Amino acid sequence: MKGASVYLTKNKNTRPLKDLVRESIFNLLIHSSKISFKFDQANILDLYAGTGSFGLECISRDAESVFFIENEKDTIEILEKNIRKLKIKEKTKILPKDVFKLLKKNIAFHKKFNLIFCDPPFKLMNIKKLIELIFDNKCLDKNGIIILHRNKTTVDKLPEYFEIIEERKYGMSKIIFGRFIT
């Protein structure tokens, strides 16, 4: 599956994660002494999944499962097509819902996630509320990592219990790696 191409969307509401940024994220996850993440047997939650490039890459690195949350109908169709092409349906679950509505319902995922990737539209400004919902729903494993993909100029207010481990900028992107401290 490594090196396999995936289908992309023409939907202007979906901003694909650039290859360089995605590659840098995975390099930091694996090689950073501050993070040191293991994909083997990991459960991943991909919020604002788009066509799934981040979650699909996690599966290629031996993640146990990926839950994709996406609410753009045409983008979901492409995500489903990518999952079929890569023959990984048994490791994935697509929740075709709005992230906030889903998390506000206090959904029980029946598992905690080792990694939560949040790639919301850059114009989304209520990131603090998103992090609070993840925390309140106990979605993240106690040693889990949250990755936020934001515009490099955006200044988000984050909850005091969200510890930033690492922050990097790539072009217009800012990647924030964090965890909950309790």
4 part of a folded domain: no
Is residue 64 a part of any domain in this protein?
yes
**Residue 104 within a domain:** yes
Tens digit of each residue's pLDDT (9 = 90 or more) over 67-122: 999 999 999 999 999 999 999 999 999 999 999 988 887 666 778 999 999 999 88
Report the largest interatomic distance among the alpha carbons of the chain, rounded to a whole angstrom: 42
Within-domain flag for 94 = yes
Query: Has residue 112 been placed in a domain?
Result: yes
Is 11 within the bounds of a domain?
Answer: no
Task: List Cβ neighbours of 3 (8 Å cut-off, separation of 6 or more).
Answer: none
* Torsions phi, psi for 152 (to 5 deg): -65, -20
pLDDT above 70 covers a percentage of the chain that reads 89
Cβ neighbours of residue 180 closer than 8 Å, sequence gap 6 or more: 135, 140, 144, 146, 161, 162, 163
pLDDT of residue 103: 85
Specify if 14 maps to a domain: no
As given in the structure block, the two tokens for residue 115 are 């990694």
- Among the listed ranges 6-10, 25-29, 37-41, which one has the minimum average pLDDT value? 6-10
Count of structural domains, the chain: 1
Judge whether residue 125 has pLDDT over 60. yes
- Domain limits for position 112: 19-30+38-180
Query: Would you say residue 60 lies in a domain?
Result: yes
What is the CATH classification number for the domain harbouring 137?
Answer: 3.40.50.150
